[in-house]
Amino acid sequence: MVIAVVPRFEAVYCDGWDGSVVNPLTATVAQARDAAGEPYTVVLLIDDRRHAVMDLSWADGYCCVSRFDAAGRQVSRHLLRGTPDGELFLRMAATWDGPPDAGEYEYPHVAARTSTTYRLSGERTDVIEPRGDLGARRETRSVQSPPQLPTPDFGRWQDLLGLAGDPPAEIVDAVRHPLPVRTATRPPWRPPRPLQPDGIDALFSPGAKVQCYDRELRLSVHTAGQLHLPSGRLIADDPSSLDLGAKPFSVTVPPGTYPVSVSLATFVDDPRHSRVAAARLDVGDRPAVRWELALREGQEPLDLGYREFFGFGVDAGMACFVDADSSERMKDVWRTLGGLVEPRYRTIGSGDMVAWSSGWGDGTYPTWIGYDTTGAVICFLADMLLFPTDEDDD
């Protein structure tokens, strides 16, 4: 007769794991965070060694389960996200397998790697890399609904472990453990809270003063011209990069001609020095009451981490709005101009492009879509990220 032995895991609670238990928490504090939806981490031990690390933040609909072998090498990672009805679905699963002599840090690069990504719409993508970073890559797509499960009660993480491949197990709170412990001013991980459009309404408030580190800037609003959108499909990009396959935003507007304005930030102590803080294409004249990140085909907000965003890249110090049907022609027009725009903004090609200098220069910048109370598109606003936020000081 074979007697099955149920594994017994001991749970250690903390702010996070980075090779040490960072800012240990009591079970009572961790349970209170769980109930409030606040982030915390559970490290599960078996035989005094780390078996799994779970980063949890229910308010963000987020759970990441990483599992490790006896040599301390990561063998799987399962990322779960929240569904509209409050459950969890498997967004991504990755596993690594062999070679047995690879070290902890080498292992994820040379081991055979399999990853599966799901969308709630039923799209599934599988990627197989038999030699990790060193060999071929095979990708297949199919239709399959992602696995789903209810958000577990505190301490009841067996279903999460089962989804990752573990057998049924008993989970108890650790009384003591041999893991290294350290304190830190902030956790080693952040829940996936993408960049938010905080304060962008104020960018188009003439005369407003904004603090930028230790200097004060005054905002002014200027008409940049009228932009022709014959297809209603807007592109925001570096005008020098239009030949690299710039894609329009998924949200479209009726074909037409729309006014574009720019917000200039001028240094109070140096009035000759100004920077473009934002550019806005107005579709309607009502105030925006809601803002969303402008996305292109294939971009999924669930893939964004802490303060991340999808944006357009700038590597020549300039940005522009242009219609998708005009972009091919306007890239050649721009090239004949030598890439120079003076003053800091102007209309190009009788309204087929509006270009402006990009804030502090090269970088990646988000575009926000403003909606009114009826859900209609009011404007597109390219944010040049000129001003630091409290999070930037972290």
Q: Dump pLDDT digits (tens) for 43-102.
A: 999 999 999 999 999 999 999 999 999 999 999 999 999 999 989 999 999 999 988 899
pLDDT at 161: 94
The model's pTM? 0.87
pLDDT of 128 higher than 90: yes
Q: How do the domains of the chain map onto residue ranges?
A: 8-182, 201-393
User: Please, how many CA atoms are within 13 Å of residue 189, restricted to the half-sphere of its CB?
Assistant: 25
Q: Convert the pLDDT of each residue in 348-383 to its tens digit.
A: 988 999 999 988 888 999 999 999 999 999 999 999
Please provide residue 23's backbone torsions phi and psi, each rounded to the nearest 5 degrees: 55, 75
| Cα torsion angle, 345, 378, 244, 314, sign | positive
pLDDT of 340 higher than 70: no
For 33, the enclosing helix (H) or strand (E) is helix 27-36
For 223, the enclosing helix (H) or strand (E) is strand 215-229
pLDDT of 15 higher than 90: yes
Q: What angle do CA 191, 193, 194 make, to 5 degrees?
A: 140
Q: For residues 49 and 177, give the distance between their C-alpha atoms in angstroms, rounded to a whole number.
A: 9
What is the maximum alpha-carbon separation in the chain? 87
Query: pLDDT-based confidence at 390, cuts 50/70/90?
Result: low
Q: For residues 167 and 9, give the distance between their C-alpha atoms in angstroms, rounded to a whole number.
A: 12
Nearest to 294 by CA among 325, 327, 321, 260: 321
pLDDT of 5 higher than 80: no
pLDDT of 279 higher than 60: yes
Q: For residues 156 and 175, give the distance between their C-alpha atoms in angstroms, rounded to a whole number.
A: 18
| % of the chain residues with pLDDT over 90 | 77
pLDDT of 338 higher than 80: no
Nearest to 130 by CA among 164, 95, 105: 95
pLDDT at 391: 58
